[in-house]
Amino acid sequence: RLALDRLADAVTACCHFSAEGLTKTDGFAGNRIEIVENGIDVDRYGPAADPAALKASLGLDPARRYIVHVARHHPVKDQATLLRGFAAAGLPGVDLLMAGDGPLREELDALAAQLHVRTRVKFLGIRTDVPDLMRAADVFALTSVSEAASLTLLEAMATGLPSVVTAVGGNPELIRHDKEGLLFPRGDAARCADAFRRLFDDPALAQRLGAAARARAQERYRLDRTVDEYFRLYCRLAGRTP
């Protein structure tokens, strides 16, 4: 790590949390780390023109509302807290969509059954239609115990979804509490449930947070902006004018 720090002409991080980790954990000199924030193809995402028709095309019930979660089933994503928070929220007419797969798949399935919500949790496996799943949902959830700058969270923001996420890593840099979404402490299923209830009980709040999230993604997290920043960095290192 010391060799990398000395030999590298530049060191970048995708968020301030990652930059702090490079300094405190990996020993890189903090004063030379440049923040180049992640970006996504914002135009690939956005609200559905006809939510009911989209839900039907995905095999979902147009009359129900949905929380969507997209991540590998792995301990760092802490889907157990997500399931416990969803069950504790007690929201009639709301289902949980879980896209992804991984080593905890069977364990999470068993937990959903134990919590008596198995019929309301849809384990979707690996999907290639995540933008449509996002558009069909009402709320996005991410309950990780650690994150850097989550691309999936950025995709939810670009879709215009209000998010319920843990206040860890770079999450608070992307989502500001009560501005673009709701943050809660990692592992706290009760606070997760409270956040779900707030959004589904107050449609105006959900709409305001979702609109603010989309505006923030459009303004700050466009992929072309990230590419341009890296291009300028490469040009500077090569002694070229951009």
Give residue 29's pLDDT.
Answer: 76
Element spanning 203, H or E: helix 203-220
pLDDT in tens, 34-81: 999 999 999 999 999 999 999 999 999 999 999 999 999 999 999 999
pLDDT in tens, 83-97: 999 999 999 999 999
Apex 76 CA angle, 85 and 185, nearest 5: 45
- End-to-end CA gap in the chain: 30
pLDDT in tens, 115-136: 999 999 999 999 999 999 999 9
pTM for this predicted structure: 0.92
How far is 27 from 8, CA to CA, in rounded Å? 13
How far is 136 from 195, CA to CA, in rounded Å? 20
* Percent helix, percent strand, percent coil in the chain, to nearest 5: 50, 15, 35
Instruction: Taking residues 145-162, report their average pLDDT.
Output: 96
Confidence of residue 8 (pLDDT cuts 50, 70, 90): confident
Instruction: Specify whether the backbone of 125 is left (phi greater than 0), alpha (psi in -120 to 50) or beta.
Output: left
Confidence of residue 186 (pLDDT cuts 50, 70, 90): very high
Give residue 156's pLDDT.
Answer: 98
What integer best gives the mean pLDDT of the chain? 95
* Residue 5 reports pLDDT greater than 80: no
Confidence of residue 109 (pLDDT cuts 50, 70, 90): very high
